[in-house]
Amino acid sequence: MKLSKLVGVRFKEKPADCVIDSHTFSLRGGYVKRVSNGIFSLYNPMKRVTQNIEKILREEMDGVDCQEVMFPVVLPGSLWEESGRYQSVGEELLRFKDRNDTPMVLGMTHEEAAVHLARDYGKTYANYPFSIFQIQTKYRDEARPRAGLIRVREFTMKDAYSFHTSQEDLEQYYDRMANAYDRIFERAGLPDVISVKSDSGMIGGSVSHEYMLLADAGEDSIVLCDECGYSANMEAADTTVDNSGCSAAAELQKVHTPGCKTIEDVCKFLKSRVEESCKAVIYQVNATDEYIVVFLRGDYEVNETKLTNYLHEAVHPGEVTQDSGLVAGFCGPYDQKAKCRIIYDKSLEGIENLCCGANEVDYHYTGLNIKRDIGDVEYVDVSKIQDGGICPCCGKKTIRISRGIEAGNIFQLGTKYTESMGMTYIDEEGNTKTPIMGCYGIGVGRLAACIMEACHDEKGPIWPITVAPWQVHVCCMRQDNAECKAAADEIYAELQKLGIDVIYDDRDVRAGVMFADADLLGVPVRVTVGPKALAEGQIELSTRDKSVQLKVNKEDIITETKKLVDDLYAQINSKVKDRI
């Protein structure tokens, strides 16, 4: 393609609302245009990138015998009623009515549609296992879309669904899919994406993993142990707290703590350790407004996803009213008379001498021993794991918390959808059974943004050649110089003949503009045809990342360019794991 014909606008200024680099370059490089909050049109360069990603996705899905199908974007609400998600999913599921007043939804994930499609075929054991995928538009009515293509409302996703007759078979396939995911990220030029154990959330199921690109700009926290290699997201990481060094039991005493509303105030006032304090965090169940009081060690925080998963109910921060019986700022487990459900976090287990609220304004207890003063309680893990905390895998204090962007996920779903939607098969002995499912997603646009985030310099993206919008960028520095133009025209034509995707800057613009645009388009290989070097029979061949900067004899430029393109492919492919 000639750059003079490329629809889109590139510009220099960083847009005000861009907080991450991939968002900035998406706009500055003429890759996307915002249509609405979290909704974008793609210009041709981004369309090319996503198509290259989709090609990799298709090849890798084919590699795990997963066949392409297509589900609708608009689904009848009745299908989501079958699985129960029409009710259980929040506002991010866009519900509307068609002209006949039939409830419809915009698909944000397609488990229901997959079961609907496979239900007939899956009636006999002989057809198992099988696996289907689609690459299609999804819509999720995000409350706060942000960060360009990272968190949007409308997105293109590769979503795959597998069906099995045994947990072992699902696990085996899950491993194959995990391998395919590793290959996908490696092929897309992101070898450093890591797989972390995750919470299954709204999708359901037991075992699941997220594929995380480590990035400071990421919105997710990832729990890592450099010692044993453990990794998980915050929701899935068990918090282990070592309370072995705590002081001995003491007498329970009510003390006056005027104006001490936070646990830090109290510990400072009483000169006691925050590690031996018990704080209260109050929630309410969304459906019933029932109060939930979580007691945990003063220096820990509640992880709301862990709490929600434990309760099997959605909650919101509690609003403490007069007649609730709760005393805000002084809420404690001893002599608690309010009507509420109490949860003890594991971080309190083993502490025998706690400071806590006395359920009376300006009073706290010291010396609380839960076992002695309250009795046997159940301790539940609902707190956030901390940086420097104990690894739940190797037990060392080696936990490191990093930021990351979720680039994909895989789930062992179990029978959540097949059972609720009545999908069954007849096994070899003639018994009716319920198949087991897995599901596997990768957002195409988000992956493109992840690549931009991982591969860029201050001037723009540095696309890995496997996904780059074009492989070679030819710059003709002087359109008005006949020799220069003829050489560039010929290189453009010859490289295309070799099947290479070429963008040709044929514009009559200053060198500064030309190079700035080339940097924003981020094409990995650049051929620069300038009059001075050409007069000496030479043409410049370089890579976007500056690792290669050569003067090549004019007659060798096609061969050398082709060789460089092949080398860049080989570099990426050498890192790709074998298929299992």
3-state secondary structure 436-501: EEEEEEEEHHHHHHHHHHHCEECCEECCCCCCCCCCEEEEECCCCCHHHHHHHHHHHHHHHHCCCC
Q: Which is nearer to a copy of itself, 79 or 224 (CB)?
A: 79
- DSSP of 359-402: SSTTEEEEEE-IIIII----EE--B---TT---TTT-SS-EEEE
3-state secondary structure 519-567: HHHCCCEEEEECHHHHHCCEEEEEECCCCCEEEEEHHHHHHHHHHHHHH
The site string for a copy of itself over 423-442 (x = CB under 8 A, - otherwise) reads --------------------
Query: Do 393 and 225 touch, CB atoms closer than 8 A?
Result: yes
Using the contact rule CB under 8 A, the part of the chain among 63-71, 202-210, 263-271, 546-554 near a copy of itself is 63-71
Query: Do 412 and 438 touch, CB atoms closer than 8 A?
Result: yes
Binding status of residue 314 toward a copy of itself by CB under 8 A: no
Find the angle CA(52)-CA(11)-CA(5) to the nearest 5 degrees.
Answer: 55
Nearest residue to 437 (alpha-carbon basis) of 179, 141, 109: 109
Q: Locate tokens 């290189």: which residue? A: 491
Q: Please state the closest distance from residue 130 (CB atom) to a copy of itself, in A.
A: 5
**Under rule CB under 8 A, which residues in 139-158 are in contact with a copy of itself?**
139, 141, 143, 153-154
Query: Do 454 and 190 touch, CB atoms closer than 8 A?
Result: yes
Interface pick for a copy of itself out of 18, 33, 221, 489 (rule CB under 8 A)? 33
What lies within 8 Å, CB to CB, of 331 at 6+ separation is 280, 282, 293, 357, 359
Binding status of residue 202 toward a copy of itself by CB under 8 A: no
What lies within 8 Å, CB to CB, of 204 at 6+ separation is 411, 413, 414, 416, 417
Q: Which is nearer to a copy of itself, 122 or 460 (CB)?
A: 122
Binding status of residue 493 toward a copy of itself by CB under 8 A: no
Using the contact rule CB under 8 A, the part of the chain among 29-37, 231-239, 344-352, 464-472 near a copy of itself is 29-37
**Under rule CB under 8 A, which residues in 69-128 are in contact with a copy of itself?**
69-76, 79, 91-92, 94, 96, 98-99, 102, 104, 106, 113, 116-118, 120-121, 127
Using the contact rule CB under 8 A, the part of the chain among 65-73, 165-173, 175-183, 212-220 near a copy of itself is 65-73
Nearest residue to 485 (alpha-carbon basis) of 449, 427, 538, 529: 529
Q: Which is nearer to a copy of itself, 5 or 510 (CB)?
A: 5
Using the contact rule CB under 8 A, the part of the chain among 133-141, 185-193, 359-367, 536-544 near a copy of itself is 133-141
Rg of the chain (C-alpha set): 29
Interface pick for a copy of itself out of 21, 29, 40, 193 (rule CB under 8 A)? 40
Token pair in block for residue 270: 């009483």
Interface pick for a copy of itself out of 41, 321, 547, 573 (rule CB under 8 A)? 41
Query: Do 179 and 216 touch, CB atoms closer than 8 A?
Result: no
DSSP conformational letter for 2: B
Binding status of residue 370 toward a copy of itself by CB under 8 A: no
Q: Which is nearer to a copy of itself, 44 or 305 (CB)?
A: 44
Interface pick for a copy of itself out of 17, 19, 59, 67 (rule CB under 8 A)? 67
Amino acid at 173: Y
Q: Please state the closest distance from residue 505 (CB atom) to a copy of itself, in A.
A: 15
Q: Which is nearer to a copy of itself, 124 or 573 (CB)?
A: 124
Interface pick for a copy of itself out of 42, 340, 539, 557 (rule CB under 8 A)? 42
Gap between the Cα atoms of 49 and 197, Å rounded:
29
Binding status of residue 473 toward a copy of itself by CB under 8 A: no
Interface pick for a copy of itself out of 15, 17, 55, 137 (rule CB under 8 A)? 137
What lies within 8 Å, CB to CB, of 548 at 6+ separation is 541, 542, 564
Binding status of residue 136 toward a copy of itself by CB under 8 A: yes
Interface pick for a copy of itself out of 14, 17, 55, 65 (rule CB under 8 A)? 65
Alpha carbon 428 to its chain centroid, in Å, reads 40
Please tell me the count of residues contacting a copy of itself according to CB under 8 A: 58
Token pair in block for residue 283: 């929630």
Q: Which is nearer to a copy of itself, 155 or 230 (CB)?
A: 155
Q: Please state the closest distance from residue 433 (CB atom) to a copy of itself, in A.
A: 18
For binding to a copy of itself (CB under 8 A), which residues are involved?
Answer: 1, 5-9, 33, 35-37, 39-44, 46-48, 50-51, 65, 67-76, 79, 91-92, 94, 96, 98-99, 102, 104, 106, 113, 116-118, 120-121, 127, 130, 132, 136-137, 139, 141, 143, 153-154
